[in-house]
Amino acid sequence: MRELKAIVRAGVLLLAVTACLFSAETPPTVVILPQENALVHEVTLSVVLRVDTKAVDSVKILNAVGEKQLDINQSKSIYCKTVRLELGENTLHIRSYKEGALINEQMRHLYVTSPLYSQYKYPPTEYKRQFFHTDNNESTCRSCHDMSVNEQKGIAFIDVSESNCYACHHQLTKAKYAHAPSVNWLCTSCHNGKVGSDNAWQAGRSKFLVAKPVNSLCFGCHKKNAKLWKSYRFRHEPLDSGRCNKCHNSHASPYKMFVRKPVNSICLGCHKDKRMKVKQRDSDCEGTIKGKECVACHSPHASDKQFFLMSEEEKKRLESKQHERERR
């Protein structure tokens, strides 16, 4: 009986050692970026892989949005690909193939957060913000990319693809309406590595941090607006707290003025009580009529009137600006 137990224990030990050795084996494709349980703030993401080119001849990156394929060659071992994500939880499948046969699969779980959607505003606790732009991390990319900053302060690129940021981050400005610093690839105008009261804990974590709240950056360019809005009696909370990026995407958006989603969706997303009142009874509010928006009457920033109502003069000024933009 003792001999049998000894044999069983030896067998268990052998299995455990084998399992450890197997798990410690380096996979043919190593996922450098993203790390597991990464917290992301944009719906685009660069995936960086180190590939054993002798063992792998193609890699597929799949998620709920679509599929990207990398054709592997012997000349390099590091590969990167930009993928699109969805708000909320995402699962990336990184599948490695040799002569059409699947030889390895890895997964990465990500979470894309958004300040405007209550269901995505507070991610599960297992997801953590991760930072890439450190000297150590960038060393991985230097074989293919120039990781230095080559922009000149305030001078737009004639050919934006010449920006050293463009190759990895060009998807950020693909939307119809792009913010001037972004579309001209003056990235360090905002991504200057500084932190503010809202993200002091991030100090030193990346070369290209943005100070939060962001109003000091925004008002550096939008001085006239800042002066005007501060003169008003009533100021909307996102403005007053300095969180312009709560409603506006700093890079680009499919919606005018770089707002993160349609105007009424933004307003009624926070002011749910107003949505219920509209549903419960007829309303003559222009914002409830098809084709109209809340901002037809309410200033989204500041006003001297209660409920941020605009004066007739302000409405005319806003209409004039809109007509001017449409003519461009």
pLDDT in tens, 263-308: 988 988 888 777 666 555 556 666 666 567 888 889 999 999 988 9
Is 4's pLDDT higher than 50? Answer: no
Q: What is the pLDDT of residue 5?
A: 40
3-state SS, residue 293? coil
Q: What is the pLDDT of residue 21?
A: 37
Strands (E), 117-271: 128-129, 177-178, 234-235, 252-253
Is 19's pLDDT higher than 60? Answer: no
3-state SS, residue 115? coil
Reference 164, options 179, 140, 186; nearest CA is 186
Is 198's pLDDT higher than 90? Answer: yes
Are the C-beta atoms of 263 and 252 separated by less than 8 Å?
A: no
Q: What is the pLDDT of residue 310?
A: 84
Rounded CA-CA distance 51/41 in Å is 27
Are the C-beta atoms of 108 and 92 separated by less than 8 Å?
A: yes
Whose tokens are 């084998």? That residue is 18
Q: How confident is the model at residue 68 (pLDDT cuts 50, 70, 90)?
A: very high
Q: What is the pLDDT of residue 265?
A: 87
- List the helix and strand counts (H, then E) for the chain: 11, 13
Domain boundaries, the chain: 26-141, 154-261
Query: What mean pLDDT comes out for the span 63-82?
Result: 92
Q: What is the pLDDT of residue 200?
A: 95
User: Within 13 Å, how many C-alpha atoms sit on residue 254's CB side?
Assistant: 2
Q: What is the pLDDT of residue 325?
A: 58
Give the Å distances, CA to CA, from 260 to 244, 269, 271, 295.
Answer: 11, 12, 16, 15
Residues 205-249 have pLDDT tens digits of 999 999 999 999 999 999 999 999 999 999 999 999 999 999 999
In the chain, the amino acid numbered 120 is Y
Percent of the chain whose pLDDT exceeds 90 = 64
Of residues 88 and 154, more confidence is placed in: 88
CATH superfamily for domain 26-141: Immunoglobulins (2.60.40.10)
Q: How confident is the model at residue 1 (pLDDT cuts 50, 70, 90)?
A: very low
Q: What is the pLDDT of residue 270?
A: 84
Tell the burial category of 13 from Cβ atoms under 10 Å away from its Cβ (0-12, 13-18, 19+).
exposed
Q: What is the pLDDT of residue 118?
A: 82
Query: What mean pLDDT comes out for the span 99-113?
Result: 96
Looking at mean pLDDT, say which of 91-105, 284-298, 304-318 comes out highest. 91-105
Q: What is the dihedral of CA 6, 12, 17, 20, to 10 degrees?
A: -160
Rounded CA-CA distance 183/251 in Å is 8
Q: What is the pLDDT of residue 279?
A: 58
Residues 132-184 have pLDDT tens digits of 999 988 998 888 899 999 999 889 999 999 999 999 999 999 999 999 999 99
Give the Å distances, CA to CA, from 259 to 143, 179, 231, 320, 326.
Answer: 37, 11, 24, 20, 17
Q: How confident is the model at residue 313 (pLDDT cuts 50, 70, 90)?
A: confident
